[in-house]
Amino acid sequence: MRVLITGSNGLLGQKIVERCIKLSISYWATSIGDNRNPECPNSHYSSLDVTNKEEIDKIFESFLPTHVIHTAAITNVDYCELNPEECQIVNTNAVSFLYQSAKEINAHFQLLSTDFVFDGSFGNYSENDTVNPLSHYAKSKVEAESILQNDNNYNNWSIVRTIIVYGTGHNLSRSNLISWVIESLKQNKEIKVVDDQFRAPTWAPDLAYACIEICLQSKIGIYHVCGPQTYSIYEIAILIAEYYNFPKEKIERISSEKLNQPAKRPPRTGFDLSKTKKEIGYYPKTIEETLNLI
C-alpha cells in the first residue's frame, strides 16, 4: 500500500501522516509550499498545487500510489461564499484532476467531504440521505462528490464526510472551533457563541484512523465519520469551560442571525455512525475524552 496524501500540512493531513508512520505504511505527503510538519521527513514530502494537472501527473508518475487521500480544500465557508470561482477551482476542479490520475493507475481515490452537503433540516444524517447544499462551499463539495458518484466505469473510491475536525498540530494555518474556545477563554477573552447550530465535532486522530482503515480494508462508497455526540456550539463552549474551570460568564449566547455571516449554515447535522462502526470498527472519543490530549 502506497498512500498519496494531499493537504498534509493541515490538521487531518498531519494525523494521516502520523498514522502511516505508526503502521509502517509507505506514504507521500503533499501541500502547497514548504513542509510545515516536523514529524514528516522532507524525504517524504513535496509541494503540490492540486489545481495544476501537470504537477499532479509528475507526483503520480514518480510515486505510483495505490491509494490517494485527498484532504486539501478551502474549508473557510465564508471565504468560499465571497470567492465562489476560487472555491470551485480548488474544491471541485482539483478533484477531477486527481481522480482522473488515480483512475489511470487504478488507485483508490478517497475524497474528504463535509456535513454541510446537507441542509440541516434534521440531524444524524445517514449515508443514504439526500444532499441539499446551502452555500458555495457546500455546493463545491456536492459537485466534487458527484464526480465520483456519477462515474459508471470506475468504483474504486470512497467519500468520507466529517464534521468540525479538531485537535492539535504543527504550524497550522488556521484554528478550529475547540482550540479557538480554549485559547480565548484561557486568555480571559469574551466570546460570542451560537446556540442554534448543532454539530458533532470530530477528534482528528479518530478521523485519520477511519481514513486509513477504509483504505486498508479496500472499502468503497460513502462513510460518515464524526464524534459520538451532537451539541449546540454554545453547549460545546460551556462543556470546555467546565472542564478547564474557565469562567462561563465570558461566553455570550447568541443566535446565528446576529453573526451576519456571508454563508448560510445548516442548523443541525450530526451523523448516523452505524455503517462506519460496523464496517471499520470506528468508535470515536467524546469531547471530554480528548480535552486532556489538547
State how far the Cα of 7 lies from the Cα of 1, in Å rounded to an integer. 19
Q: Tell me, what's the pLDDT at 294?
A: 84
Which percentage of the chain shows pLDDT scores above 70? 100
pLDDT-derived band at 158, boundaries 50, 70, 90: very high
State how far the Cα of 181 lies from the Cα of 204, in Å rounded to an integer. 17
For the chain, domain boundaries? 2-168+203-226+271-285
Residue 271 DSSP label: B
CB 9 within 8 A of CB 173: yes
pTM exceeds 0.85, yes or no: yes
Q: Which helix (H) or strand (E) holds 12?
A: helix 11-22
Mean of per-residue pLDDT scores for the chain: 97
Q: Quick check: 102 pLDDT over 90?
A: yes
State how far the Cα of 33 lies from the Cα of 266, in Å rounded to an integer. 33
- What is the tens place of the pLDDT at every residue in 7-35? 999 999 999 999 999 999 999 999 999 99
- What is the tens place of the pLDDT at every residue in 36-47? 999 999 999 999
Sign of CA dihedral 229, 214, 278, 128: positive
Question: Torsions phi, psi of 46, nearest 5?
Answer: -150, 155
Q: Tell me, what's the pLDDT at 229?
A: 97
In the block, cell 450530526 appears at: 270
Torsion angle (degrees, nearest 10) of CA 159, 160, 163, 167: -140
**38 burial type by CB count under 10 A (0-12 exposed, 13-18 middle, 19+ buried):** exposed
- In 3D space, the residue among 260, 158, 166 whose CA is nearest the CA of residue 214 turns out to be 158
Domain 2-168+203-226+271-285 sits in which CATH superfamily? NAD(P)-binding Rossmann-like Domain (3.40.50.720)
Q: Tell me, what's the pLDDT at 174?
A: 86
Grid coordinates belonging to 144:
466534487
- What is the tens place of the pLDDT at every residue in 116-156? 999 999 989 999 999 999 999 999 999 999 999 999 999 99
- What is the tens place of the pLDDT at every residue in 213-233? 999 999 999 999 999 999 999
- What is the tens place of the pLDDT at every residue in 162-202? 999 999 999 998 889 999 999 999 999 999 999 999 999 99
What residues does 113 pair with on adjacent strands? 161
Helix (H), strand (E) counts: the chain: 12, 13
Q: Quick check: 108 pLDDT over 90?
A: yes
Residue 87 CB partners (closer than 8 Å, separation 6+): 74, 79, 80, 136, 137, 140
Number of C-beta neighbours around residue 286 at 10 A: 13
CB 239 within 8 A of CB 253: no
Q: Quick check: 111 pLDDT over 90?
A: yes
- Alpha helices for 105-222 (secondary structure H): 136-149, 177-186, 204-216
In the block, cell 485559547 appears at: 183
The one-letter code for the residue type at 252 is: E
pLDDT-derived band at 252, boundaries 50, 70, 90: very high
State how far the Cα of 198 lies from the Cα of 182, in Å rounded to an integer. 19
Q: Tell me, what's the pLDDT at 31?
A: 98
